Amino acid sequence: MKLLGIFIVACALMLVVVASLMLGGKGTARHVVQVQSPAPVPTRPGPVEPTRDTASLQTSPPKEPTTAALPQSGVTAEHEQQGAEAETSVDAAAAADIDDPEPRAEATWPDDPRVAEIRRRLVQARAALRADPNHETARRDEVAALCELGDWRGAATALQPLLDLHPDDTQLHFELATILLRLHRWLEAIGALKTVVSHEPDNHRAWFNLAVAHQKLGHLDEARRAWDRTVTLDPSPAAHERRGEVLLDLREWAAAAEDFQAVLTHHPDADDATLNLALAWSKLGRHRDARTLLERFLADHPRHIPALNRLANVCWEAFQTAPDGNPNLADEVVTWCQRSLDVDPHQEAIQTLLTQARHAAQDGD
């Protein structure tokens, strides 16, 4: 009997243990994935707040209308805006990205621990979304991770469900527009940004990006209006420079010159602004001012091909418009062309200009 009693007690204890395990299992059946709090869509600083256009350098006398930017192989302009890393806009330096021929993901090393952490967060967010497709925090984390990885197409797709849930959220429209600018989907970006500025007319970042998108499509009048609003709200050097580029294309030389002078007040060594101010002054007939500006710049950057070519063109235009056809100007053209060709001899247009200037100098003698 004692043995039977002990057996019954042992069985009872086993039943209690099994029951507690079953209840514990029910209590932990639903695993909640922890995700990070919403983060703004990351972008590299810069003016889609950048920056400069990527039209080809004009090595021959300027054609009309004259595009503003003057990059050359091996020579680039830097327009990084410090402290703008947290901005969710395509600013001056970011425009360098959207000017790329085709959008592309950021190059990363497979064993980069930062990339591994981003991918871990992406996997975590998507696991939460499989359990709850309407998990907004997880959706935002997915978008942020995709942006950090440079997967702009994926980010645009991932952001759409949030817009479906919150169609009046202007911040979401702004983030979508930022991504669309990275993808060179200018018209769609314009639509999203118009929604933002219609609700937030003083949002200078939205106006900046709207101006960039219009400028990319060649909508010069619309771009000029958007830049005017941007400069009114936030007269940054980047906004002045981009508006100046549009004004050059609109042949509003005096207004363009004022914008580039505003840039040089803050950044005296800015190469694009220097070259474009020289162009505007040349168009206004201020050839001496343009030459002095470029000569001063070349004193610090003697092998800067765009500046050498611009100075050669300014001197050539001054020679052609001088009443007496001053042969000294033709000699200057020869000098600057030769210096440019010493740096890069494979410039057909400059070689042609050099030949023309030599003939003109000989005729003057």
Residue 121 has pLDDT above 60, yes or no: yes
Looking up tokens 């709850």, which residue turns up?
Answer: 132
CATH number of 186's domain: 1.25.40.10
Chain segment 282-293, per-residue pLDDT in tens: 999 999 999 999
Residue 92 has pLDDT above 70, yes or no: no
| Count of Cβ atoms closer than 10 Å to residue 188 Cβ | 16
Report the share of the chain in percent with pLDDT over 90.
65
28 belongs to a structural domain: no
Contact 46, 79 (CB under 8 A): yes
175 belongs to a structural domain: yes
pLDDT of amino acid 326: 76
Q: Give the chain's domain count.
A: 1
Looking up tokens 């410090």, which residue turns up?
Answer: 82
344 belongs to a structural domain: no
Contact 69, 24 (CB under 8 A): no
263 belongs to a structural domain: no
Helix H, strand E, coil C: the string for 76-98 is CCCCCCCCCCCCCCCCCCHHHHH
Chain segment 64-91, per-residue pLDDT in tens: 333 333 222 222 222 333 333 333 344 4
Tell whether omega for the bond before 323 is within 30 degrees of 0, i.e. cis: no
pLDDT of amino acid 184: 96
257 belongs to a structural domain: no
pTM of the predicted model, to two decimals?
Answer: 0.71
With vertex at residue 208, the alpha carbon angle to CA 158 and CA 157, rounded to the nearest 5 degrees, is 10
User: What average pLDDT does the chain have?
Assistant: 78
346 belongs to a structural domain: no
150 belongs to a structural domain: yes
316 Cβ partners below 8 Å, 6+ apart? 61, 329, 330, 333, 353, 356, 357
**Domain boundaries, position 109:** 39-44+86-234
168 belongs to a structural domain: yes
Instruction: Give the burial string for 207-233 (b: 16+ CB within 10 Å, else e).
Output: bbbbbbbbbbeebbebbbbbbebbbeb
267 Cβ partners below 8 Å, 6+ apart? 237, 273
Residue 107 carries which DSSP code?
A: P
